[in-house]
């Protein structure tokens, strides 16, 4: 016995492969039990096999047939929103803990620095999206220093090279899921999300812009909350940082803005400019979108595994 919890990753693309390497190099409580894909020629499956991880190219059906499937407690799903619905139904029948890295959002939204272990006992938790993991903590930072956040908008710009076929197939779900999570977790009354796939060469680092319109908070308190949140996220994503000083603009009665569902509104506009540099475990450092997603998923799973191991040894 290794004293660790076995996990499997479904999806041998960019996100799944990066997550596998993180599990093997940095996890305190997890060890790889299987890497699952549908392309027998994928780099992720080949890399897993070289590292001694059991592999299958037969998708969820292949996972269920693996000899060690019964020993796997946690399954990360890094496929697509549509595939996750099917995968989760089968995994729940066998009592597996599912960490959803797709925008399917079957389980509750989870961002470590916002709701941490609140959903730790849920059978399925959703990691929102890469853009959500990077930006929603900042919407929440404004909210906790204000009485009201009427509007939160995020623009996530990532390198085209860091967006695999799974990400590209889920663009609509990305915007819908992230927009909803801006409201549910970020605390904004209305949320909007935009993603940009940037084809620039050389590839650009992940950049995120967060706009909020709030009421009942002063600039000093909001900026202090934002800086504190930056430090909190950096505990598991070292390359997460403010790119510029926080910017403020008063939206007064002479030039109110119109917010859908709310109407004309005034308040304090806050602009937060972020950069996310990846740890380069699989793709280069410009792929911060992968790093923040897989790091958040690993933190969440590691905490659950620690609780599971404590109970098992009690």
User: Residue 1: its pLDDT value, please?
Assistant: 45
* Active-site annotation holder among 66, 130, 188, 299: 130
List, for residues 273-296, the tens digit of each pLDDT value. 999 999 999 989 999 999 999 999
> Regarding predicted confidence, which is higher, 168 or 150?
150
| Dihedral angle over CA of 76, 79, 80, 83, nearest 10 | -90
Confidence of residue 204 (pLDDT cuts 50, 70, 90): very high
Query: Domain residue spans in the chain?
Result: 5-128+292-313, 130-285
Least confident of 1-5, 41-45, 134-138, 193-197: 1-5
Measured CA distances, 10 to 53, 92, 248, 264, 272 (Å)? 13, 15, 43, 46, 34
- When pLDDT is averaged across residues 55-66 and rounded to a whole number, the result is 98
Active site residue 7: no
Burial of 169 (0-12, 13-18, 19+ CB in 10 A): middle
Helix (H/G/I), strand (E/B), else coil: 125: strand
User: Residue 312: its pLDDT value, please?
Assistant: 84
* CATH of segment(s) 5-128+292-313: 3.40.50.720
List, for residues 74-107, the tens digit of each pLDDT value. 999 999 999 999 999 999 999 999 999 999 999 9
Q: What's the CA gap between 111 and 243, in Å, rounded?
A: 21
Neighbour count for residue 33 (Cβ, 10 Å): 23
* Four-way CATH pick for 130-285: 3.40.50.720, 3.30.360.10, 3.40.50.300, 3.30.565.10: 3.30.360.10
List, for residues 154-188, the tens digit of each pLDDT value. 999 999 999 888 788 889 989 999 999 999 999 99
Structure tokens at 86: 């099917």
User: Residue 127: its pLDDT value, please?
Assistant: 97
| pLDDT of residue 2 exceeding 70 | no
Mean pLDDT of the chain: 96
Q: Which residues, 6 or more positions from 79, have their beta carbon under 8 angstroms from its beta carbon? A: 10, 11, 87, 102, 166
Helix (H/G/I), strand (E/B), else coil: 166: helix
List, for residues 217-266, the tens digit of each pLDDT value. 999 999 999 999 999 999 999 999 999 999 999 999 999 999 999 999 99
């Amino acid at each position: 016995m290794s004293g660790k919890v076995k996990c499997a990753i479904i999806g041998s693309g960019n996100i799944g492969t990066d997550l596998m390497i993180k599990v093997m190099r940095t996890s305190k409580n997890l060890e790889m039990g299987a890497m699952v894909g549908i392309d027998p020629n994928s780099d992720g499956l080949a890399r897993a096999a070289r590292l001694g991880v059991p592999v299958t190219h037969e998708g969820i059906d292949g996972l269920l047939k693996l000899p060690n499937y019964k020993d796997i407690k946690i399954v990360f799903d890094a496929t697509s929103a549509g595939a996750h619905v099917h995968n989760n139904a089968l995994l729940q029948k066998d009592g597996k803990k599912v960490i959803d890295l797709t925008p399917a959002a079957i389980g509750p939204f989870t961002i470590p620095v916002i709701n941490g272990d609140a959903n730790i006992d849920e059978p399925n938790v959703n990691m929102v999206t890469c853009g959500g993991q990077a930006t929603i903590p900042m919407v929440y930072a404004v909210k906790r220093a204000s009485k009201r956040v009427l509007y939160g908008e995020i623009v996530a710009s990532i390198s085209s090279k860091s967006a695999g076929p799974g990400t590209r197939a889920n663009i609509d779900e990305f915007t819908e899921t992230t927009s909803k999570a801006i409201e549910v977790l970020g605390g904004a009354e209305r949320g909007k999300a935009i993603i940009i796939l940037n084809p620039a060469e050389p590839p650009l680092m992940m950049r995120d812009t967060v706009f909020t319109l709030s009421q009942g908070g002063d600039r000093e308190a909001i900026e202090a909350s934002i800086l504190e949140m930056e430090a909190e996220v950096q505990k598991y994503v070292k390359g997460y940082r403010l790119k510029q000083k926080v910017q403020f603009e008063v939206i007064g009665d002479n030039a109110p803005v119109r917010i859908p569902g709310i109407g004309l509104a005034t308040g304090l506009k806050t602009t937060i400019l972020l950069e996310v540099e990846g740890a380069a475990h699989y793709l280069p450092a410009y792929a911060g979108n992968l790093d923040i997603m897989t790091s958040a998923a690993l933190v969440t799973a590691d905490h659950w595994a620690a609780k599971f191991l404590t109970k098992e040894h009690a």
